[in-house]
Amino acid sequence: MKKLILVLSILFALYAWTGCSDDDITTPELTTDEYPRIFGRWPEGATDGTLGEFDIPLDQVLNINVQYTPADLCEGIWYLDGREIHRGVGLTFVPSVVGEFNLKLVVKTPTKETSREAILVVSEPTE
């Protein structure tokens, strides 16, 4: 009986091991016909349509880390109050004045684009 249980256990383990082969996994092909996607930290807007906010004191650095997909087909362009301030993945920004600003990220493929917007609130320096 012990031998039968051992044999069945070995057969089950072999079946489970071969059943989880990576050969069955297919990677989706992302093309320029796909809408780009933005993944990462972004503040939620309110239900009334008000944009979410990034809050930062004047003496701090704002770091926003995001990823785009399809990565090899996308370009990210960052705007502050409609003026381009950076191209690329992620943003490191050092504010120079106190105030509220519109921050926008536009991610484009050759045929499609998507965007995210937020309000950047820069307050007085911390002590």
Domain coordinates in residue numbering, the chain: 29-123
What was the pLDDT predicted at 82? 96
What is the tens place of the pLDDT at every residue in 75-125? 899 999 999 999 988 899 999 999 999 999 999 988 889 999 999 999 998
Q: State in words which class domain 29-123 has.
A: mainly beta
Q: What is the pTM of this model?
A: 0.71
Residue in 66, 82, 68, 59 with CA at minimum distance from that of residue 114: 68
| C-beta separation of 63 from 95 below 8 A | no
What was the pLDDT predicted at 27? 52
